[in-house]
């Protein structure tokens, strides 16, 4: 007898709840962060921008707490997705992901500068570059908690991986509606965000660890915005190690969306997804197929 689906496991309900948590959280964030921005008005850049950026990134805890509370009320066993493997392995794979994200986007950013698509201006090292890293981790982890933690674990109850992966990618695009409205629509940017969402899901399935995607996401964003000073979903930083000038649109770079708006990144992501499928196939050949296993059962 086929098991009856719970309403909160239906794809449409999961998607609506996820977007509600994200955007209601954004409204609450504005209430929390506004006093900080008012108090920082008398400061000079880049200190002012650091304070505002750190406050905004820290406030993403609101969505994390909302999501965890919802999961606790509706299906608390799904919270196990955040405790995959041992504590030591969770920490280790977070750093593995962070290192991999830095390497991958660092290589793309280096190509951007090497091809002359952007002229690099060295601004120098500052303590803010180190201090912003944990705040960046909070912001990136928020999206992973919602998309790979909540969405993926709930959908795994009734749907196959080839349904779950693109749903997470589409919701990731919908997280960027504000960016698209403010900076302008980009089909390549949307495609790359979709591919990133799929890649992160496969990364979790292959590694058997939720936190690896939090690390990779952080390494990707941090490298692009704060080390190389390139646009991150349209946003740049005044205290990056480098600052990009005289940007031109090319195969490797988009002046508005940076690396994420380029066809080079599209190629890198498609290759990365192919590699992840290969790694999953190798693992499956040894006895267990990560794509057919539920994350909370690993």
In this prediction, residue 3 carries a pLDDT of 58
Reduced to 3 states (helix: H, G, I; strand: E, B; else coil), residue 186 is coil
- Domain-embedded: residue 38: yes
In this prediction, residue 4 carries a pLDDT of 63
Which tokens in the block code for residue 296?
Answer: 């909370």
Model confidence, pTM: 0.95
Expressed as residue numbers, the domain containing 115 is 7-297
At 247-287, the pLDDT tens digits run 999 999 999 999 999 999 999 999 999 999 999 999 999 88
Give the other-Cβ count within 10 Å of 89's Cβ: 16
- Domain-embedded: residue 1: no
8-state DSSP, 235: B
- Domain-embedded: residue 277: yes
Q: Which residue has the tokens 């309403």?
A: 7
With a CB cutoff of 8 Å and minimum separation 6, the contacts of 198 are 165, 166, 168, 169, 273
- Domain-embedded: residue 139: yes
- Domain-embedded: residue 2: no
CA distance 205 to 289: 9
- Domain-embedded: residue 176: yes
Q: CA separation (Å) from 5 to 13, 100, 146, 249?
A: 12, 38, 21, 48
CA distance 42 to 292: 55
- Domain-embedded: residue 214: yes
Domains held by the chain: number:
1
| Pairing outcome for strands 119-122 and 242-245 | antiparallel
CA distance 237 to 98: 20
In this prediction, residue 8 carries a pLDDT of 84
- Listed as ranges, residues in the chain with pLDDT below 50 are 1
């Amino acid at each position: 007898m086929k098991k009856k689906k719970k309403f909160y496991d239906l794809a449409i309900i999961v998607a609506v709840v996820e977007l509600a948590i994200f955007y209601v959280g954004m409204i609450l964030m504005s209430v929390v962060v506004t006093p900080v921005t008012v108090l920082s008005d008398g400061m000079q850049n880049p200190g002012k921008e650091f304070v505002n950026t750190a406050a905004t990134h820290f406030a993403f805890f609101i969505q994390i707490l909302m999501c965890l509370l919802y999961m606790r009320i509706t299906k608390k066993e799904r919270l196990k997705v955040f405790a995959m493997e041992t504590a030591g392995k969770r920490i280790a794979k977070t750093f593995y992901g962070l290192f991999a994200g830095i390497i991958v986007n660092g290589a793309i950013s280096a190509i951007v500068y090497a091809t002359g698509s952007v002229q690099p201006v060295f601004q120098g090292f500052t303590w803010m570059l180190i201090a912003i890293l944990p705040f960046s981790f909070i912001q990136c982890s928020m999206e992973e908690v919602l998309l790979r933690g909540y969405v993926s674990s709930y959908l795994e109850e009734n749907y196959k991986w080839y349904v779950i992966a693109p749903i997470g990618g589409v919701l990731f695009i919908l997280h960027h509606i504000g960016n698209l409205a403010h900076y302008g629509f980009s089909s390549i940017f949307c495609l790359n965000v979709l591919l990133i969402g799929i890649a992160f899901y496969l990364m979790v399935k292959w590694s058997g660890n939720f936190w690896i995607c939090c690390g990779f996401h952080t390494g990707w964003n941090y490298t692009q915005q704060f080390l190389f000073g390139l646009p991150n979903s349209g946003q740049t930083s005044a205290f990056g190690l480098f600052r990009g000038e005289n940007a031109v649109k090319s195969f490797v770079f988009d002046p508005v969306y940076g690396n994420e708006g380029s066809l080079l990144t599209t190629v890198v992501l498609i290759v990365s997804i192919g590699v992840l499928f290969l790694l999953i196939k190798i693992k499956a050949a040894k006895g267990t197929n990560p794509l057919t296993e539920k994350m909370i059962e690993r």
